[in-house]
Amino acid sequence: MKRKNINREEEGESMEIVWQTPANPPQRQDYIFRDGIRYVRPYYFEFISHAKNRWEGKTIVDLFTEEFKGRPRDYYVSAVKAGRIQVDGQVVPVSYIVQSSQKISHFLHRHEPPVMALEVEILLTEPDVLTVRKPASVPVHPCGQYRKNTVVGILQAELDLAPLFPIHRLDRLVSGLLILARNASKADIFRKQIEAGEVKKQYIARVIGVFPENEQVVNMNINYNAREGKSTVEAENGQNCISPSKGKAACTKFTRISTNGTHSIVSCEPVTGRTHQIRVHLKFTGYPIANDMLYLSESVNHRSVEGLSADRAAAMPEFALKPNRCEICVPNSTDDPIEDFCIDPMCTNCPNLAPKGYDGHEEGLWLHCVRYSGPVWTYECPYPDWASLD
C-alpha cells in the first residue's frame, strides 16, 4: 500500500489516505450487506496504464481528455495539479508531454458495482481443485469495474482461499458450476485439455415455449459486438445483419428436459465457447431464455456510463471510471448511520455505496452450468430452484 497526503483546499489542511493496488487482498470487512445486496466499502485505488504509441507527444491533460471521455477536462486538470494523475510515479505539470511506454497512474476513490448477496457455496474440495456454485450477478474474477465483488475476491476474503485459478468462465449473470485450480500446474493441465477439445460442458436454461422433443443442433456463426454488449448469429439466408467474414464458428446442442406448456427446461451443450453463445443460439431457435431481456428485445438501447446494462458492466474500462462529487467523511446512508466510510474530496459518488447506474436490483439469468467433464474427471452442480416447472 502507498500512503499519501491529499490537500483539502477548502479547509486548508491535508488528510492521509492509503492507496491500494491489485496486490492488496480483499478482506472480510470490505463488504457491506444491505437488503439482499453485497456492496464493497469504497476504497482508494491506483489504476495503472502504460502509454501507447499513439499517446506519445500529447500533454497529460489532452491524453486523458481524448482517451477517457467519461470525465470533463476540468477534472483532469485538477487531478494532475493535485497529484492524482502521475507519470512514472512523479507529479507532473498539466503541460507535461507524455512519452511512449511511460507508466501512468490515476489515483481514485473506487466504488465497485454491487452484486446480489448470495453465498459462494463450496461444492467439492480436493488438494488441487476447488469447485463452487457461482451465484448469478457475481463476476468470476477481477475485470472492468469489479475487483473485490468477484468469486475469487469473495473466496479470498471470507475463506482465505488463495491463490485460485479459474479454469473456465461463466458470464456474470450466469450461475452454476465453477472449477478453480489451486495451483498453476493444475490449471495448466486443465487448459491443455480444454484446448485439445477433451472437455465437455453442460448447462440448463429455462426458455419460452414448448421446446422440440428431439435434439436440436445449432451450427451458426456468432459475431459479438462489444459496443452493444450483444451477439448476433449469421443466418443461412444471409439476412441477419452480419457478414460471413465477421462471424466465428459456433455450435450448440439442445435437448428438452421438461416443459409445462409455457416454459421448457433445456439441456445446452456448447461445443464451442463464444460470447453469449447459448443465449443467442436459443434465440435463433425461437426459444429464448425466458428472463433474458437482452435477447428478448429486438433492439438494444445504447446506454451511457450512467445507465449501464448489466451485460456491459464488467467490460467497462476501470481506468476511465467517471468521477462523482462528495462531502468529507459522512455516513454512506442516512438510513444506516452505523456503517460509514472515509470519503474522498474529489469523488462525486459519495455518499452512495454504488457507482452511478447500479441500483443493485437485477435478476440472474435462467441459465445455469451443471456439469464439466474431462478425460478422467467430472464435476457437477445441483439444479437451481427455477429449473422446477411445478
List, by residue number, the catalytic residues.
171
DSSP classification of residue 382: P
Q: Residue 351, preceding bond cis, omega within 30 degrees?
A: yes
CB-count burial class (<10 Å; 0-12, 13-18, 19+) for 134: buried
Angstrom distance (rounded) from CA 373 to CA 341: 45
Q: Contact at 8 Å (CB) between 324 and 355?
A: yes
* Half-sphere exposure in the Cβ direction for 10 (13 Å, CA): 5
Angstrom distance (rounded) from CA 24 to CA 99: 29
Amino acid occupying residue 210: V
Residues paired with 340 in a beta bridge: 331
* Cell numbers for 26: 480483499
Angstrom distance (rounded) from CA 151 to CA 233: 30
